Amino acid sequence: MDPRIREHAEVLVDWSARIERGDDVVLVLGPDAHDLGVAVAEKLGEVGANYVAVYAAAEMGRAYTMAHDGDFEEDPAYHLALYENADAALILGGGRNAAEFGDVPGEKVQARRKALAGVDEARLATDWVKTVHPTRSLAQQAGMSAEAYADFVYDAVLRDWESLADEMARLKDVLDAGSEVRLRKRETDLTMSIAGRTAVNSAASVAYDSHNLPSGEVFTAPFDTEGTVRFDVPMTLRGTRVRNVRLTFEDGEVTDYSAETGEDALDEILATDAGARRLGELGIGTNRGITRPTGSILFDEKMAGTVHLALGRAYDACLPAGEAGNDSAVHVDMITDTTDDATLEVDGEAVQRNGVFRWEDGFEG
């Protein structure tokens, strides 16, 4: 076994999910995440936690959903009971074909998702962490060889998270104290209010309210957005390849938009509801192990030298207690490169220029 698989399991169990003796852990794994599943099971044995392994095979989900008449039962009690009684859920992504649901009618997929919303909620109420095992399918999606892709994944995952968390704490402090963020680069000049909002130091650990491994971003919930932004990192939205989205905001709402390719997907997203035309998230990538986009949002949005903005739902963790943030059925991240002639300012002071943070070597003030 590649020794990095065991290291991955160790980071996941110890740093990310903070699993302790006696914890009841649900392992949710894709068919090709088997090897990571073995390493995680070993680590859980070492810690003295319990595990139940749930097999998340897209081919099974597809066959079931296609054959079903669409009248799905809401949150079956046994399914709910598994997660309601669990302390943690470790989701080990590793499918065989990301396009497996490509021929399932969308309304059926939505109906099943909706029927299991309570189960999802129960899972999200645990100390859940989502990670991926480098599979051939993901390598293909990234356009990389399996070996190069595995190197890519482990560079992103096997970091010194403790020291990165300390570094990100600085950025969080700046955002928490700030009122206005301005992003300037080619074809972009955007201002957002963040007054009263709390940033999340997403250090790949439930101890930081962070549920992705890898992570490496600091995010908050902006509002009153004004101006224009161009997203030049390619992305896949609802199965459609989308390039060079440009959004213009007035009074916090999208008033004009375009995309070089895939504008249809954008049309559909913006038409979802009123919240889909407002921002729910401003995120700043800090993971220097991620050096290129691979078409997977789990990695792309964490890339150091990028900023992402999400249309739609805001995270509660960023809002003052009792205050509702932007609400929507969607949360769609879009990414812009900040390494080339770009400045990110908080209250008029540059916090990042050309991808370099103020406290880093090489920052040009």
3-state SS assignment for residue 271: coil
* Residue 56 binds to a second copy (criterion: CB under 8 A): yes
342 neighbors 354 (Cβ within 8 angstroms): yes
Of these, 13, 14, 17, 79, which contacts a second copy (CB under 8 A)? 79
How far apart, in whole angstroms, are the C-alpha atoms of residue 226 and residue 238?
26
Beta bridge partners of 308: 283, 335
CB atoms within 10 A of CB 87: 17
* Residue 196 in contact with a second copy, rule: CB under 8 A: no
292 binds a second copy (CB under 8 A): no
Kindly state whether residue 59 participates in binding a second copy, applying the rule CB under 8 A.
yes
Residue 90 is a binding residue for a second copy (CB under 8 A)? no
Among 4, 7, 14, 53, binds a second copy (CB under 8 A): 53
Q: Does 71 bind a second copy (CB under 8 A)?
A: yes
| DSSP H or E stretch at residue 254 | strand 253-261
DSSP string of 284-335, one letter each residue: EE-BTT--S--S-HHHHTTBTTEEEEEEEPPPGGGSPTT------S-EEEEE
The reply to whether 76 sits near a second copy by the rule CB under 8 A is yes
Select from 11, 13, 17, 86 the one that contacts a second copy (CB under 8 A): 86
Q: Is 51 in the site for a second copy (CB under 8 A)?
A: yes
Instruction: Quote the least distance from Cβ 51 to a second copy, whole Å.
Output: 7
Q: How far is the CB of 19 from a second copy (least distance, A)?
A: 13
Q: Measured from the CB of residue 108, what is the shortest distance to a second copy in angstroms?
A: 10
Of 7, 57, 169, 296, the residue at the interface with a second copy (CB under 8 A) is 57
CB closer to a second copy out of 67 and 324: 67
Q: What does DSSP assign to residue 12?
A: I
Q: Name the residue nearer to a second copy (CB basis): 71 or 251.
A: 71
| Contact call for residue 93 and a second copy (CB under 8 A) | no
Among 4, 7, 18, 38, binds a second copy (CB under 8 A): 38
Q: Who's near 36: CB < 8 A, 6+ residues apart?
A: 5, 8, 9, 29, 92, 94, 131, 133
Q: What is the Cα–Cα distance from 310 to 154, expressed in whole angstroms?
A: 26
CB closer to a second copy, 65 vs 137: 65
Q: What is the dihedral of CA 216, 220, 225, 226, to 10 degrees?
A: -40
- Judged by CB under 8 A, does residue 55 bind a second copy? yes
- Indicate which single residue of 2, 20, 64, 255 sits in contact with a second copy (rule: CB under 8 A): 64
- 41 touching a second copy, by CB under 8 A: yes
34 is a contact residue toward a second copy (CB under 8 A): yes
Which residues, listed in sequence order, are joined to residue 356 by a DSSP beta bridge? 353
Q: Is residue 42 near a second copy by the rule CB under 8 A?
A: yes
Binding-site member from 20, 66, 124, 292 for a second copy (CB under 8 A): 66
Which tokens in the block code for residue 161? 């998270």
C-alpha separations of 346 from 34, 149, 300, 358 in Å: 45, 36, 23, 11
81 binds a second copy (CB under 8 A): yes
Closer residue to a second copy, CB minimum distance, 119 or 276: 119
Does position 52 bind a second copy by CB under 8 A?
yes
Provide the total of helices (H) and of strands (E) in the chain, helices listed first. 11, 18
**Residue 362, strand partner residues:** none
Task: Cis check for the bond before 214: say yes or no (omega within 30 of 0).
Answer: yes
* Residue ranges that bind a second copy, judged by CB under 8 A: 22, 24, 26-27, 29, 31, 34, 37-39, 41-46, 48, 50-57, 59-61, 63-69, 71, 73, 76-79, 81-86
